[in-house]
Structure 1
Amino acid sequence: MKRRDLIKMAALAPFIHSNTLQAKVKDTIRVKLKKNIVLVNLDLGLYAPHFRDGGSSCKYITEIFSEFKDQMTYFDGISEPGMGGGHECQPASFTALKYEDREHHPDRVMMSLDQRLAEGSIQESRHKFIYHRVNNGSSMSWNKFEQPLPAVQGANALYEQLFARTDSKTDKARIERERDILAALARNFRRYWTGTVQEQDMKASLEHQIAILSEREKWLKVKKPYMKKTFGENDEKNPLPSCSNNYELVYQALEKQQTKIAFMQFGGSGLQRGMNGIDLGHHGNTHHAGYAERIRALELIDGKVLGELKRFLHRLKEGNLYDDTIVLFHCGMGDAGAHDPRRTASFLFGGGFQHKESVACLRAKNDHIYSTCNLFSSVLKQSGFNDIAFNSSKTVIPELFKA
């Protein structure tokens, strides 16, 4: 062992004990994913009347996804019981637990579905997961320590990470630098350790980051695929007019087996840039107050996001990946104009499910048949997980598994 590595291990020694051993035990029960998983999110949600009214006959299904009507499921009225309103429900879109509420639910963890899938599965591709934001938005991907994860921002950065030519020596040097930083943090922990709960959480997070670096280092030995860039450097300044680039990069990541888990998010900031006829920002338009021009702006934005999602689904079919890929479009807000998290937009495609066009999730105003967590448990089951518990849910939506 090199002297430098020995010093690093010595610095980390106080923290490599029972927790690390427990992590190794957990590794043995990680599953091999049976499906690719793609999550798609629009921060502020869709225009409510176009998906809330009519079940499988609602406007977005009949006008945009009509070709997939027998190969998709709309969850009519789905939401999470007890989820309060406000913009805080945006980061909770795929956790079903708001950050400020986590202390009231000690049995739950604010961990997003993409990270639950990544943590519980064996890494079979260069990237264990891709969290990609088309433009600026809320933090949506949360790890098991209830920490928000950084996103790959914009199509240019996603291309660089996935398919641009790189220097493996530079990548290795970058990992070594990150190891040095973690080692310095470990030395400070050892020096000032008092054993508080916060320190224990930070220690566990530090060990987790070290394990991630080790996994990244293994993939440096595998040659990264090169793909010629097909879009302009400035395209991403107009997020929606150019979002076909973002969808295509996610498709190529699946097709070239660079990841099996992808989370693609359309943020609220500047989403309308480059869209003709939209002057007000997306957030302002969601508070439309019945004005026709604002509603029309929302329809244009929704149509572009969902229209390109439809093209992505066609790409999966062309590449024979549709049945092997779970695609879930889900929003944390049901009606952004009222900051209402109830009756959210949730469309499930592909993945080999027994699709039912529309599944009723609400008997009455607050009488839930199925919750958002039941939906997430269903995704875990279809992905090959034995432990399908997700926060408030230990059961799946049975219609998705019945012939």
Structure 2
Amino acid sequence: MIPYGRQDIQPQDIEAVIDVLRSDFLTQGPAVPRFEMQVAEKVGARHALAVNSATSALHIACLALGLSEGDWLWTSPITFVASANCGRYCGAQVDFVDIDPYTYNLCPKAMEAKLKHAEQEGRLPKVVVAVHLCGQPCDMQAIHTLSQRYGFKIIEDASHAIGGKYQGEYIGNGRYSDVTVFSFHPVKIITTAEGGMALTNDRGLAERMDLLRSHGVTRNPELMTQEADGPWYYQQVDLGFNYRMTELQAALGVSQLDRLDDYVARRNALAARYNDLLAELPITTPWQHPDSYSGRHLYVIRLQHERLSVSHREVFEVLREQGVGVNLHYIPVHTQPYYQAMGFQSDDLPEAERYYGEAISLPLFPTMTEVQQDEVVEALKKAVGAV
């Protein structure tokens, strides 16, 4: 089976982890700050907070931005459920903005129309989570312009997008957002096994997220509410969580980061080759916005049903039967039972639902060979009846 994604672990990655195992620190040592500093420097952010998952990063980012009961969080329906769930963790209500038919990201035009109605109804969002699906960034300048008018904060869910660029600059620099979140899950661009990171240019937000990721406990006298009893003293000044990243994970991340640009370049080269090989098939290949350089976490095709005599499911199953580990990213969040129980209907967001009826993620990972890619293409030709 050719998987849709796969980590690349090299000997230097293994040695980096072994070095930590031989050291004095398995957690809360020097590797995590080193990883944070290197990622921040790479993308041009002032502060970086490593945590145990991107979901944890989204959660503490929402809390740091003051999201709470009675507030609204808006996001895209075509994303993993964590992009919406982070709002529910804070007690906020969640709503969804339909996607752009070309990028599959949150559509600024649909968002502007929705904001106008929300303003009239007194339910404007406090936080918008802009998801960079497949690694292609949202139209962040347009979203930021809307935030200036309507007063919401912005989290870039860049779980798919580290190493990508928007308007010639690395995603994560925070030019158009308050917080950016990266994921280091094994199928992402670089991995720490599990792990995530929140980046910001706001010192206050960084300090708040730092506190929240570690039980709300501090040894910093500036954050304490009373004088320390002695050098052993710490205080819990907020209700936080155990969201810390280990030294083992961070050491792996530092080692992987050395190959970030190579990984993204290879993913883009494979995507370009897919585009050429699939050009004559009854499918739509991913469109790349000229303002962006995608991290290419995923390569999603869309079936052109009007040109096919087989169903979405049949194409998917034939590919699996031929050893191609296709997947579908994602089932629209608002159609999940948890969100349907809140009143969302399956036909609320037509572009998202149209996407779901056509999308298939083909295998894409940096160690993929051209022979493997050719096998995927031949399998897809068979599945759609082109051979």
Report the TM-score range of the alignment, normalised by the length of the smaller protein.
under 0.3
The structure richer in helix per residue is 1
Normalising by structure 1, we get a TM-score of: 0.26
